[in-house]
Structure 1
């Protein structure tokens, strides 16, 4: 008769492992003990992912033999002839369809099981998930030499865990998908040249992109104070704090869906930062205050908006010199400043600008700057975004 308290503890470990993967090790250790010291392998590979060693948990099995197992899994473990539907519904053994004597002559036993002191009998198996016709996640339970034989109560215990393993795997797969989506979105906002900060219901920053981090590192009129955005100018800061409170409480003025805008004075005397604050989608009434409610965009007119000229060269068939000219103009430099920065004459600058107008089909500097900054040239590439 199985210990119900320990069985419930196994179920607790299963759901704990959804958010704390190390709990799978505790689950396997407890399950092994209840099965008389069985060796167990648990595979939790996610759909459409390359196999990852971190997705495999084991007890009483040597990790060094895993490549051997993989080799035989590719060639065929021997229990492929078993009914896959039955293995998805519960635990089964190839002993139901294959003789034990057949196992002892197989390379799987000779190269993987025997060296690890696993008994010469077919293991118990359960498929948690499949991808097409191939196993994706599952559990394999081996009896070890000199350990007691499995009995009907062991199989009952294992089968009682099947629905919980399936639910936990499904939840884990959804969480992994959400984390991948979150990582991808984070990468996207990190490539935007404008600083972006997400603010929660208490006014605290819950996420910021790299561009915002660069502006904060300047310590020039825009900072974080106790985790909240802060402007150096007291009058501007009071107005900004009021706007944040109105926005996160859902009382933003009409038309603010496009954002409230303001200039941020910089103690250095450089051109002010441009700031826009807007609400995110209205959260449900019971949403916690630590979820993002508003977004703050902040731009440095003197910051480099074009990280590399190679994109400009490719998009508009510009020479390197012409692309460098466009980059400097887009950053707000006058033609005199461009000439001085590049060490060329004004005639050279004007001649190159004429070529740029022709290639980009623009007529004025303002039109050229808008074309460049509104296009993909201002989006940072992966390597550039991490600088």
Structure 2
């Protein structure tokens, strides 16, 4: 049992640490179990519909069988603790005090999991998160210390609000991290260069395309964590553009944005920057997060054209799709023929076939059709679409 307020506060601190750092849960569960003379600390998370095990974390002196997760997944519907806990969310309980003794000890969950592993006694609390997840946490012990007393249950229940809050926080942080990882992967798949910055111009994230541009240091780079242009004047323009975009969006609660060009010391065509605010409708109490998104385009960089998808969309042959791709790149028929080693007559034959399949009659009409259709945004944004 808990021997002092200090011990209880120490446990609460462990729960808070675990909420922010998933690797701290084994220590938190071990301390919780030890405080109640338990042999096993347990944290189980599952989905409600369908009832499926997601996480089962155990720590203690007992080594669980290798097929434990399969057993839990299969036998959870027979776990009478789950049925009671779901109808009493947030309540700590000792199984033998609230469940029918005969029904509990006869249940497959008890007979195939708890009893064979020598932990027939348990204190448990359960709760539901976002109506989709249920979690169970507590401690189990064997015959040496016997059933949990009413006082132990009372003390455990005094900790459950903190324990539940920690588990809820961990689950929601995990959901947010999953979304963040997916967003990062999506941004990295773009050929377009994207940079996320805060209101001061500090770089929070740059996708692979942006990292390539920044690494060249030709008109745009990073110094002391902040975006910088090729000259002090351009650096000042970047800072002012970001700050004004963010402030204007905060003031009006409407999407803002600004753009500028950056000269490059190499003499190449200037880089183009488009700056748009992020979540301008949200009050920033602690504005330590990205506040603006910058799209960087290099006019001299060749963007991939999704020729295979254009072929599928309009029923074109590979040769016809290649011609469409070159026309989108600004080539004429002669340039296309020379690039692919075909005659001008063959190129014209391909073009006539494309006109017939797309219902167009001129090159300008064909390009307008492609750019206005489903493939248009992919071409304009430079998305690397795979067939």
Post-superposition shift, 1:52? 6.5
RMSD value, Cα: 4.0
Instruction: Name the CA shift for 1:343/1:265 in 2 (closer, same or farther; >3 Å).
Output: farther
Map of 1:36 onto structure 2: 37
Secondary structure in structure 1 of the residue aligned to 2:165: helix
Structure 1 range deviating more: 109-118 or 207-216: 109-118
Residue of 368, 375, 378 corresponding to 2:377: 375
Instruction: Name the CA shift for 1:107/1:283 in 2 (closer, same or farther; >3 Å).
Output: closer
Map of 2:124 onto structure 1: 125
Q: Is the 8 A contact 1:201 1:290 kept in 2?
A: no
Post-superposition shift, 1:10? 1.9
Map of 2:101 onto structure 1: 99
Map of 1:222 onto structure 2: 220
Map of 2:312 onto structure 1: 314
Structure 1 stretches of at least 4 aligned residues deviating more than 6 Å after TM superposition: 47-50
Distance, in Å, in 2 between the alignment partners of 1:33 and 1:163 is: 19
Deviation track 1:162-197 (CA, whole Å, cap 9, x = no partner) reads 333333333333333333333344344444442221
Post-superposition shift, 1:138? 0.6
Does residue 364 of the first structure (1) align with residue 363 of the second (2)?
yes
Q: Is the 8 A contact 1:46 1:173 kept in 2?
A: no
Structure 1 range deviating more: 20-29 or 38-47: 38-47
Structure 1 range deviating more: 94-103 or 290-299: 94-103
Post-superposition shift, 1:106? 6.5
Residue of 67, 79, 92 corresponding to 1:90: 92
Secondary structure in structure 1 of the residue aligned to 2:292: strand
Map of 1:4 onto structure 2: 5
Distance, in Å, in 2 between the alignment partners of 1:257 and 1:97 is: 57
Secondary structure in structure 1 of the residue aligned to 2:201: coil
Secondary structure in structure 2 of the residue aligned to 1:37: coil
Post-superposition shift, 1:94? 4.3
Instruction: Name the CA shift for 1:81/1:50 in 2 (closer, same or farther; >3 Å).
Output: closer
Q: Is the 8 A contact 2:52 2:73 kept in 1?
A: no
Post-superposition shift, 1:233? 5.6
Distance, in Å, in 1 between the alignment partners of 2:51 and 2:262 is: 48
Q: Is the 8 A contact 2:184 2:207 kept in 1?
A: yes
Map of 1:18 onto structure 2: 19
For structure 1, the 5+ residue unaligned runs are: none
Structure 1 residues 322-337: aligned runs within 5 Å: 322-337=320-335
Q: Is the 8 A contact 1:39 1:144 kept in 2?
A: no
Post-superposition shift, 1:325? 2.2
Q: Is the 8 A contact 2:241 2:259 kept in 1?
A: no
The number of aligned residues is: 378
Map of 2:303 onto structure 1: 305
Secondary structure in structure 2 of the residue aligned to 1:328: helix
Distance, in Å, in 1 between the alignment partners of 2:335 and 2:53 is: 54
Instruction: Name the CA shift for 1:181/1:360 in 2 (closer, same or farther; >3 Å).
Output: farther
Residue of 161, 164, 170 corresponding to 1:163: 161
Distance, in Å, in 1 between the alignment partners of 2:224 and 2:153 is: 56
Does residue 232 of the first structure (1) align with residue 223 of the second (2)?
no
Q: Is the 8 A contact 1:200 1:294 kept in 2?
A: yes
Does residue 142 of the first structure (1) align with residue 168 of the second (2)?
no
Distance, in Å, in 1 between the alignment partners of 2:70 and 2:192 is: 51
Distance, in Å, in 1 between the alignment partners of 2:370 and 2:230 is: 30
Distance, in Å, in 1 between the alignment partners of 2:102 and 2:345 is: 90
Q: Is the 8 A contact 1:339 1:345 kept in 2?
A: yes
Secondary structure in structure 2 of the residue aligned to 1:147: coil
Map of 1:73 onto structure 2: 75
Distance, in Å, in 1 between the alignment partners of 2:386 and 2:58 is: 34
Structure 1 residues 253-292: aligned runs within 5 Å: 259-282=257-280, 287-288=285-286, 290-292=288-290
For structure 2, the 5+ residue unaligned runs are: none
Q: Is the 8 A contact 1:47 1:131 kept in 2?
A: no
Distance, in Å, in 1 between the alignment partners of 2:335 and 2:235 is: 34
Instruction: Name the CA shift for 1:174/1:270 in 2 (closer, same or farther; >3 Å).
Output: same
Distance, in Å, in 2 between the alignment partners of 1:79 and 1:153 is: 20
Post-superposition shift, 1:28? 1.3
Distance, in Å, in 2 between the alignment partners of 1:88 and 1:368 is: 59
Secondary structure in structure 2 of the residue aligned to 1:275: strand
Instruction: Name the CA shift for 1:52/1:98 in 2 (closer, same or farther; >3 Å).
Output: closer
Does residue 346 of the first structure (1) align with residue 344 of the second (2)?
yes
Q: Is the 8 A contact 1:92 1:126 kept in 2?
A: no
